[in-house]
Amino acid sequence: MMIRGCATGAVVLTLLGVGAAIGDAQTGPPAPSVVLDSVAGRDNFERYCASCHGRGGRGDGPVASALRARPADLTTLARRNEGFQRESVRAYVTGADRNPDAHGSEAMPVWGPIFRGLDPSDLRTTQRIDNIVSFIESLQGPSTAASDLGSQLFRTHCATCHGPSGRGGGPMADQLRRMPPDLTQYTARNGGVFPSERVQRIIDGRDVPSHGDREMPVWGDAFQAVRGGTSEQAVKARIDAIVRYLAGIQERAASLDTLRPGHL
């Protein structure tokens, strides 16, 4: 799996922008730092990646048309690679699986050494890269590949009630007071739009007042209670992966638009 097309020009443009700001320091605003203080994934993606890949990761950044090859659509990585291959993506971003001597023929910068040159803290560099990869993972469109995290979580935690197809015919379904709903009908029942925020809240369950009266587990608590403990970010990543999986099994094409809670 290769993520191609993010230009070294992004780095050049960033540095030129900083240089221009320094040149205008007496009359303009203070020059921005080349390296962000924030290590948040979204912040760093927008600073270092969006000029080529676009803020939404679809390969439509402002300098994309000037590149020899169109930047990759990062929202399709999971769909094109039998799930989101996190370690492969991380290795490609850092340059670990690329030959630096041959990197001159590639359009995408080797971010590992670049970030280490900009920030002397190895811990912050590692966090910065990991958070960028997590942000890219959050951009993934619906995927039902067997190796996708959402697919695996659904089979492990949901299929016993909702069935392997999500239609409500799991082996435990007839032991419940009410039959589990057909999860493939969210889009059809919601005017052709998949209500991702509402589904996310239902799965999480921690802020749904009536959730305690239902037979469905509060997965926000359940995921956080796994052996060794799980961070809130990891819990959200699991729930988001399940939501993407459910979007992928809808009978009508799902648009991952966020609707107001209660719209469904």
Of 9-18, 74-83, 114-123, 151-160, the one with minimum mean pLDDT is 9-18
Largest CA distance in the chain: 74
Instruction: Give the tens place of pLDDT for each residue, 123-133.
Output: 999 999 999 99
Which token pair is 207? 């802020």
| pLDDT higher than threshold 50 for residue 203 | yes
Cα–Cα distance measured from residue 189 to residue 37, given in angstroms and rounded to the nearest whole number? 45
56 with 72: CB under 8 angstroms?
no
In terms of Cα–Cα distance, which of 158, 33, 140 is closest to 79?
Answer: 140
Query: Which range among 41-55, 62-76, 188-202, 206-220 shows the weakest confidence by mean pLDDT?
Result: 206-220
Q: What is the pTM of this model?
A: 0.57
Domains and CATH numbers, the chain: 9-138 (no CATH), 149-248 (1.10.760)
Q: Are 198 and 262 spatial neighbours (Cβ–Cβ below 8 Å)?
A: yes
What tokens does 103 get? 């990197």
Lowest mean pLDDT among 25-29, 64-68, 241-245, 248-252: 25-29
pLDDT at 228: 56
- For 223-250, what is the mean pLDDT? 81
User: Looking at 13-17, 183-187, 190-194, which range is the least confident one?
Assistant: 13-17
Neighbours of 21 (CB within 10 A): 14
Whole-number average pLDDT of the chain: 78
pLDDT at 97 over 80: no
Residue 1 confidence (pLDDT) above 90: no
Report whether pLDDT(63) > 90: yes
Backbone phi and psi for residue 161, each to the nearest 5 degrees, phi listed first: -100, -50
Contact 51, 63 (CB under 8 A): yes
